[in-house]
Amino acid sequence: MACHYQYTEIRNTIAELANLLKDMNALTADIHSESDFKILLNAIAVCLNK
């Protein structure tokens, strides 16, 4: 029975990880520098306002 619980926990953790990865910012440092970090700052502001 313990194995079933571990598999469930692993599946849930993988699902959470997938959600985090899909929302990751994949822009390069050069892109951020060129935009004065506006894209990054806006994304942070959106997350903080949730």
pLDDT per residue over 25-48, tens digit each?
678 888 888 999 998 888 888 878
pLDDT at 25: 65
By 3-state DSSP, what share of the chain in percent is helix, strand and coil, each rounded to 5?
A: 75, 0, 25
| Dihedral sign, Cα of residue 24, residue 26, residue 27, residue 30 | positive
Comparing CA positions, the residue from 30, 25, 23, 19 lying closest to residue 40 is 25
* 18-27 confidence digits (pLDDT tens): 877 777 767 8
Would you place residue 49 in the very low, low, confident or very high pLDDT band (cuts 50, 70, 90)? confident
Cβ-based neighbours of 43, under 8 Å, separated by 6 or more:
25
pTM as predicted: 0.44
